[in-house]
Amino acid sequence: MKMLLGHEWVDREETIDVRDPFDDSLIDTVPAADHDDVETALATAFEARDTARKMTTYERAQVLYRTGQIIAGDIEGFATVIAREGSKTIREARGEARRCVNTLTIAAEEAKRLQGETIPFDSFPGGEERRGYYERVPIGVVLAITPFNDPLNLVAHKLGPAIAGGNSVILKPATVTPLSGLKLTEAFMQAGLPPGVLQCITGYGAVLGDALVEDPRVRMVSFTGGVEAGERIMSRIGLKKVGMELGSNSPVIVWKDADLDWAVETCVSGAFWAAGQNCIGVQRIYIHRDVYDRFRDGFVNRTKAYRTGNKLDESTDMGPMINEGEAKRVERWVKEAVEKGARLLAGGTRDGALVPPTVLEDVPEDATIHFEEVFGPTVNLYPVDDLDEAIDRANSANYGLHAAGFSNDVTVCHRLAAGLDCGSVILNDSTDYRLDSMPFGGVKNSGLGREGLKFSLQEMTEPKVVCWYLPGL
């Protein structure tokens, strides 16, 4: 595919192969942008700020609705691209494409709810004979940098609010999965977005990243990805707004009175969705000792029934990791845990990029797979005796995106809600639950700021005060 740079779709002599991680087959190529292309993107976006700002709220909302409808009319096409270039099975990919329709629809709705307020200037001495208000105005150029694991919907979570807020936007999608973002960009243009307001530049983050994030014409960097790239960006960004949606190591607490069958069912899905490459994927499960054996046996049985393999096969539950290097890393972390005393209950071996769903118990706290984000299809089980101990251990990671708890005791649920240190506490469902309209983001190394359309729209606009001095009023 070509990239959308300036006002046109362009090729470059140097290209990047986009391959299916299941069989390494070539799907397509995309241009490898260079620094001249970065300059074109920045100059175009800077100039297009005016066009974007002058679009009426109605026009912005209509473009967003129409883009959503284009996707709704081609769920299979979008899902196939997601499933081929990434790790998701076709069923998971359809889910993402449908969610993307919701995301864009919510963005359109939120565009119309973007409001200011009147300001009671006379509430303090010095404000007499003054009237005024504030409204929310666009910030200018938004740079959206996105990861590989939700290559469509996480892009929509940035483009949607950026456009709803009247900004121009440059998208830099993940190099391994650029096609979904390019296809979404095409849909926006088809829906009537004026030229220049959106561009999609493809190429390596390590090559293009600094020049994009450092440029003063960019007013906000909205980043989703890993801590390493996030920290690099923070060190280069200068005086700009920033959104950082980073990783996690999500804990779940299963209490003795929980519905265990449901907890097993939803935690298995939450652990192995997208082959565990999910920022809110279940990684550590703390289970009350009284029900530990029952939960563990149920979990392992359900895990062993998982079908892995070809992502395009309707019966496949889980596909490969994004590449063999990542699969080798996960294999290494499992091996390290086992060498330190962990017991392997399921999975653990690797075939190319395919890591089967893996379950461990007795994982020592100095094992990397305990304290780091695994971002792969593995889960650790731990027995616990006391709720405070469970909460402390859940909070021990240096991340805090989602945490979950299962209990039918309302007091236990309230203690979990109050005690778990994270962006969202999900009760009686796994950490892998997100509604696209809710505030989404984390504490500690999980990031800064919140997405979820209403919230990202606040980040991508700013208040502007209008104040009249009206003598004699």
Contact residues: ligand NAP, CB under 6 A: 145-150, 154, 172, 174-175, 204-206, 209, 213, 224-226, 229, 232-233, 245-247, 279, 373, 375, 401, 447
Catalytic option among 100, 200, 279, 422? 279
Write down the least CB distance from residue 447 to ligand NAP, Å.
Answer: 6
Q: Which residue is nearest to ligand NAP (CB)?
A: 209
Write down the least CB distance from residue 353 to ligand NAP, Å.
Answer: 14
> How far out from the chain centre does Cα 118 lie?
35
Reference 460, options 189, 150, 218; nearest CA is 218
Q: Please identify which residue in the block is written with the tokens 């960009």.
A: 185
Write down the least CB distance from residue 286 to ligand NAP, Å.
Answer: 21
Q: How many helices (H) and strands (E) does the chain have?
A: 15, 22
Q: Give CA–CA dist 426/413, Å, rounded.
A: 10
Q: Known catalytic residue: 245?
A: yes
> How far out from the chain centre does Cα 18 lie?
21
Reference 53, options 222, 213, 194; nearest CA is 194
Tell me if 360 sits within 8 A of 315, measured CB to CB.
Answer: no
Tell me if 361 sits within 8 A of 387, measured CB to CB.
Answer: no
Write down the least CB distance from residue 115 to ligand NAP, Å.
Answer: 27
Instruction: Output 206 or 467, the one with its CB closest to ligand NAP.
Output: 206
Strand partners, 451: 440
Q: Please identify which residue in the block is written with the tokens 């299963």.
A: 254
Alpha helices (runs of H) in 113-204, residue ranges in sequence order: 153-164, 179-190
**DSSP 8-state code for residue 34:** -
Length of the chain equals 473
DSSP secondary structure string for all residues of 100-133: HHHHHHHHHHHHHT---EE--GGGSTT-TTEEEE
Write down the least CB distance from residue 228 to ligand NAP, Å.
Answer: 6
Write down the least CB distance from residue 226 to ligand NAP, Å.
Answer: 3
For residue 369, the one-letter residue type is I
Catalytic option among 92, 245, 451, 459? 245
> How far out from the chain centre does Cα 177 lie?
14
> Tokens at residue 306, please?
């998982």
Write down the least CB distance from residue 181 to ligand NAP, Å.
Answer: 9
Q: Known catalytic residue: 76?
A: no
Q: Give CA–CA dist 102/96, Å, rounded.
A: 10
Q: Give CA–CA dist 2/356, Å, rounded.
A: 35
Instruction: Output 147 or 405, the one with its CB closest to ligand NAP.
Output: 147
Tell me if 41 sits within 8 A of 170, measured CB to CB.
Answer: yes
Kindly list the catalytic residues. Answer: 245, 279
